[in-house]
Amino acid sequence: MRTTAAEPMDTTSRRPRLVLTQGDPAGIGPEVLLKLLAAAPPEASWAPLLVAERAALEPLRPVLPEVPWDRLRYLGALPTAEELGRLDTVGAIPVLDPVGSARALIFGDSGAADAGGAMAALDAGIALVRSGVADALVTAPVSKASIAHHHLPGFKGHTDYLAEVCGLERYGRDYLMVFLAPDLQVALLTVHVPLREAIDTACDGVAVAEALDCLQRHAGGRIALAGLNPHAGEGGLLGEEDGRFLVPAVAAARERGLDVHGPESADSLFARASRGEFDWVLALYHDQGLIAVKTASFGLATNWTLGLPFLRTSVDHGTAFALAGRGIADARPLDEVVKATLGLISGRLPRKR
């Protein structure tokens, strides 16, 4: 079943189960997962299921003595809900090892085995959430470059991979990358593409219409479309693209019943949205939206893949190879993602005016 903001999950009779994948095992993913568990009491409002290699977790024992190592229970196969329930009753933390073999791991240096382990964890996490064993998938960061080089040529990230696995064909029409920050909610018209291609997409009325409809369908609310040129073109003085392409797209969306405004000058739009004037900003390209999100709330934002048939969230940072294996990585961003995920499950998020 496709879960949207309008369809909160029914978890009233039990704690929500979150499956958390390791990301690149040579990065900080395993460490922040363990730190999250160390900070969460056994009676927390959610139940964890880690998908991580034992070979990535056990080397962290010397630098993470506060982790409840005695509560970890390694599993050799995908568990059933009943098996997980039995582990919950004794306070155990289930850990599914997606690889199941011992190996030497070098923190900070992602090789072929690490790329393979990252994808094995992701595939297992997808299987768990699609089967209904878990209520949401929370992913730690992977290295796109390592996976593309060692394992899956052409890999561009979690979002497109998840969409392809779920049979979603077109970004914007079928799914969107969006970010939930404490005072700001931003969707992206385009993601990891060259700026020239992003501008072409912004001038494609069909693409803009599809993205607005996708955002309305899965989240809803008062939407502001960011302008392309300075001051959204200043009536054509600073560029004609806003008037030629974006103004008609907004007018057509309003005729379809969407509460859409713009194009709005991007230099002030995100501040206006953070003060409550809009529920969502649809940014035209990656950095237009993410500079605003990360400047306002780096480490506090949640990446949410809108349109999947299950709930998937992630942190807004990367693998941080330079910090890996030293016990100094900050788990607070992951904690914020867990809080946002629980808010999405309950229907408290996304926010609406």
Mean pLDDT, the chain, integer? 95
Closest by CA to 226, choosing from 198, 255, 188, 253, is: 188
Helix (H, G, I), strand (E, B) or coil at 270: helix
Across residues 172-200, what is the average pLDDT?
Answer: 97
Contact 129, 136 (CB under 8 A): yes
Using CA atoms, how far residue 102 sits from 23, 98, 99, 105, 146, in Å, is: 18, 12, 9, 9, 20
pTM: 0.94
The CB-side HSE value for 20 (13 A sphere, CA atoms) comes to: 28
Across residues 41-70, what is the average pLDDT?
Answer: 94
Q: Which residue has the tokens 């390592």?
A: 146
Q: How many CB atoms lie within 10 A of CB 277?
A: 14
Percent residues over pLDDT 90 in the chain: 93
pLDDT at 215: 98
Single-letter amino acid code for the residue at 206:
V
DSSP 34-103: HHHHHHS-TT-SSEEEEE--HHHHGGGGGG-TTS-GGGEEEESSPPPHHHHHHHHHTT-EEEE-SS----
Q: Which two tokens stand for residue 114?
A: 């690490």
Rounded Cα gap, residues 334 and 155, in angstroms? 23
* CATH of 170-307 among 3.40.718.10, 3.90.660.10, 3.40.50.720, 3.40.50.11810: 3.40.718.10
pLDDT at 9: 57
User: pLDDT tens digits for 144-159?
Assistant: 999 999 999 999 999 9
Q: Which two tokens stand for residue 192?
A: 């990891």
Q: How many CB atoms lie within 10 A of CB 237?
A: 10
| Domain residue limits, the chain | 1-168+308-353, 170-307
User: pLDDT tens digits for 15-26?
Assistant: 999 999 999 999
Contact 323, 60 (CB under 8 A): no
Across residues 283-289, what is the average pLDDT?
Answer: 98
pLDDT at 8: 59
Closest by CA to 209, choosing from 257, 267, 168, is: 257
Cα angle 283, 281, 135 (rounded to 5 degrees) comes to 100
User: pLDDT tens digits for 233-267?
Assistant: 999 999 999 999 999 999 999 999 999 999 999 99
Chain centroid to CA 125: how far?
Answer: 14
Q: Which two tokens stand for residue 280?
A: 């969502």
> Could you tell me which residues come within 8 angstroms of residue 320 by beta carbon, excluding any fewer than 6 positions away?
27, 28, 141, 329
Helix (H, G, I), strand (E, B) or coil at 156: coil
Whether the domain at 1-168+308-353 and the domain at 170-307 fall into the same CATH topology: yes
φ/ψ bin of 268: left (φ > 0), alpha (ψ from -120 to 50), beta (otherwise): alpha
Q: What is the DSSP letter of 151?
A: T
Using CA atoms, how far residue 304 sits from 79, 132, 139, 204, 271, in Å, is: 25, 19, 10, 24, 21
CATH of segment(s) 1-168+308-353:
3.40.718.10
Rounded Cα gap, residues 183 and 267, in angstroms? 17
Helix (H, G, I), strand (E, B) or coil at 255: helix
Single-letter amino acid code for the residue at 223:
I
Is residue 6 scored above 60 in pLDDT?
A: no
User: pLDDT tens digits for 196-242?
Assistant: 999 999 999 999 999 999 999 999 999 999 999 999 999 999 999 99
| Bond preceding residue 98 cis, omega within 30 of 0 | no
Q: What's the full length of the chain, in residues? A: 353
Single-letter amino acid code for the residue at 98:
P
Split at pLDDT 50, 70, 90, the class of 41 is confident
